[in-house]
Amino acid sequence: MSFEVKEKTEVRLVFLGAAGVGKTALIQRFLQDTFEPKHRRTVEELHRKEYEVGGVKVTINIMDTSGSYSFPAMRKLSIQSSDAFALVYAVDDPASLDAVKSLRDEILEVKEDKYTPIVVIGNKVDRHDERRVSSEDALSTVALEWNHSFLESSAKDNVNVREAFRELLQQANLPSRFSPALCRRRETIPKESPKRPPLNKNNSCLIA
């Protein structure tokens, strides 16, 4: 007897990392193709967006979490309920990579599964002169020791943002024909007016 493995049509992604590494900026760049240079403190925000691809509705839930360790219960709940994880650090901040290591340990402990889909993202590669974490060192740790996907990005310059989400969605087992590259505002819900306000807390990409 053979069993067919069904692909998911809804997925929950969670972005984790230290404060100020660019989690919100990456999400904003993916959803709205905009960049806000001023850092805004996040507690927890859920973005929900639907796309229609090949007649199939695909729902992406993206949880943007606080970089503060003041909300451990909230963070644990986010981990328990998510399908795939983006662990974000800034290439100009070695301490933020240490935070990623701690968060990875927490994810594996909460999920009790060492094969949990995790993508590690080194953000802010536009800060060439301020880089303090080399690509080689990060790749050695993430890919060779941890066996996770790794890439570097810039929300500011829109470098590898779609690629990061594509990797997350593939690991979360969304339909293989779905790619963020196809999401150039092809979604059928919601209908957006040309004068839609900028990304705001609680209403960005929400679907009632």
Give the integer Cα–Cα distance in Å for 117 and 9: 17
Q: Are 114 and 107 in contact (CB under 8 A)?
A: no
Paired tokens of 5 = 């493995």
pLDDT value of residue 179: 52
How much is the pTM? 0.78
Give the integer Cα–Cα distance in Å for 41 and 31: 19
- Which CATH code for domain 10-182? 3.40.50.300
Give the integer Cα–Cα distance in Å for 64 and 139: 24
| Angle formed at CA 73 by CA 71 and CA 76, multiple of 5 degrees | 110
Task: Write the pLDDT tens digit of every residue in 21-55.
Answer: 999 999 999 999 999 887 666 667 899 988 776 67
Range list of H helices, the chain = 23-32, 72-80, 94-111, 135-139, 161-171
Give the integer Cα–Cα distance in Å for 181 and 166: 8
Task: Write the pLDDT tens digit of every residue in 161-197.
Answer: 999 999 998 898 775 555 544 444 334 333 333 333 3
pLDDT value of residue 191: 36
Task: Residue 30: name the closest of 123, 100, 118 by CA.
Answer: 123
Predicted confidence (pLDDT) at residue 199 exceeds the cutoff of 70: no
Predicted confidence (pLDDT) at residue 87 exceeds the cutoff of 50: yes
